Amino acid sequence: MRAKIPFRLLLLFLAGTQYPATDIHAQHARIKIYIDRTVGEVNKNIYGNFVEHLGRCVYGGIYDPGNKLSDKDGFRKDVLAAVKQLNPTVIRYPGGNFVSNYNWLDGVGPKTERIPRLELAWGTLETNQFGTNEFMQYARAIGTEPYISVNMGTGTIEEARRWVEYCNVKEGPYYAELRKKHGYPEPYNVKYWSLGNEMDGPWQMGHLSAEDYSKKALEAAKLMIRTSPGIKLVAAGSSNYRAGADPDHWNRTVLHELKDVIDYIAIHMYVGNPDSNYYNFVATPLVLEQRIKLIKGMISEAMQTASRGERDPIYIAWDEYNVWYRARGGDAGRGKRALEERYNLEDALVVAEFLNAFVRNADVVKMANMAQLVNVIAPVFTNETGMFRQTIYYPLELFANNVYGTSLDVFVDCPTYPTKKFSLGVGESSTQQTKVPYLDVSAAYKDGEVILCVVNRNKEEAITTDIMSQSGAFSGDMQVTEVNGPDIKSGNDFDREPVHSSNKPAIKTNGNTITYSFAPHSFTMIRGRVTK
């Protein structure tokens, strides 16, 4: 994560006024589903999350020893319950910018012997009371897959190798025996490892050129794989889309140089609405999808000359994404209360659109990690006496607990609204007219059931839609769940959660077409059976 403004990734600034629904009554929307027209399998790891030593994500968030709400291991029980319900399938740790000046050995061993260090990324004192073993305990407590990022900034390739040995080798060599000495006799068998964080960004400690990063990452990969064959490696893709940067050069170079050893390329993206332009803001995930398609092409190019044996092709890990623009810079960007973004309904709709995009691109997007889990640009927010679920919690919870199986290539015909300017990053813009569909849609099919996810971007009007199955009749009742609130600026707090999931009356089916009216500014999930 980048520590300073200007934003390191795109905020989609689409100039002009807010666009009302001028033709919504003149058109009838249609969604066509054909269960044999598929994209790829939805990977469970697209519902991941991220824990960084930043602000109150760890200390005072997931880990709060001495608090009456914490268990014997220091984990906040209320947070643990909310996180379990969120069902994060893979959690990235320990950073983020934090990892680029972190020595993992500082966070293991007896806590009384751990040395506090000056934390340079976010301007705090790191006590190191929470480290590798505590994170592994937490991952097991919530039933998630651990995903560790190694230090490719100030760290060495041997430090990275030793961390793999500590986590994954059962016994014999020094660091495996050190883990046992620390009280953990069995290896953790961590499968996912990333080769650094945002190394193309000048804000990153140990920032490298694409060529230098690729050389260092390749040598680290060699050592890590030889220490623990079968691990999956994630390369740091571009995170710098500022004016003057060349993200395409970075991504092509990394893919070309590391194509034989990596399994994923990581991409990051944060969006925001600083101009309070709702219709522009809810279009921002379209750029994420553009970048997916561009990087997919680069992967295809690299695979033409790769030597990977029977291994899968390289996939995309979108291992940082979220809405983030209020709590940036100044006091809000550093210190113990850093990045404490408070979310509203429009933010939740954008998150739902991110998730729709991941499902629509299930053939190449095989991991995604919302940043972050607690307090820091997070779906769960705490104080010393309680917690609440932010608005963005609810779409992620619905997806993570329901949307699996095969992604479908869905046909959508609906009204659109215009944009006057379509920006691909800070300093990049185009005068080309762009039309944004009011309905943002994804669908998956599993065990005879279709799961349809729809965001209605229209702020004022419901959109009546015919949903047609082209491969069989709908059968039984279709269950409907909606995330909505009183208005687009509605947010949750400790004493109220006006934005939440609610069950709506089931849809009675009769044949291969149902009609449903999607409420204004809403995310809706419809699930039901299709009989061939």
Sign of CA dihedral 444, 456, 25, 14: negative
Number of other residues whose CB lies within 10 A of the CB of residue 460: 9
Rounded Cα gap, residues 77 and 80, in angstroms? 5
CA angle 285/288/293 to nearest 5° reads: 135
Rounded Cα gap, residues 74 and 188, in angstroms? 20
Residue from 126, 257, 320, 353 carrying the catalytic annotation: 320
- 320 belongs to the catalytic site: yes
Number of other residues whose CB lies within 10 A of the CB of residue 296: 18
Number of other residues whose CB lies within 10 A of the CB of residue 463: 24
- The β-bridge partners of 291 are none
Residue from 52, 134, 198, 353 carrying the catalytic annotation: 198
DSSP 255: H
Rounded Cα gap, residues 21 and 24, in angstroms? 6
Number of other residues whose CB lies within 10 A of the CB of residue 230: 8
Mapped to the 3 state alphabet, what secondary structure does 403-434 carry? CCEEEECCEEECCEEEECCCCCECCECCCCCE
Strand order in the sheet with 449-456: 38-42, 405-408, 439-446, 449-456, 522-531, 473-484, 500-507
Mapped to the 3 state alphabet, what secondary structure does 67-103 carry? CCCECCCCEEHHHHHHHHHHCCCEEEECCCHHHHHCC
Q: Which residue has the tokens 């509203």?
A: 344
Rounded Cα gap, residues 111 and 114, in angstroms? 5
* H or E stretch covering 322: strand 315-323
Answer whether 257's CB lies under 8 Å from 195's CB: no
Q: Which residue has the tokens 């609440």?
A: 388
Find the helix packing angle between 210-227 and 157-168, rounded to 10°.
30
Rounded Cα gap, residues 207 and 151, in angstroms? 11
Six token digits for residue 191: 């499968």
Q: Which residue has the tokens 């996912």?
A: 192
Give SS3 for 292.
Answer: helix
Ramachandran region, residue 521 (left: φ > 0; alpha: ψ -120 to 50; beta: rest): left
Q: Which residues participate in catalysis according to the annotation? A: 198, 320
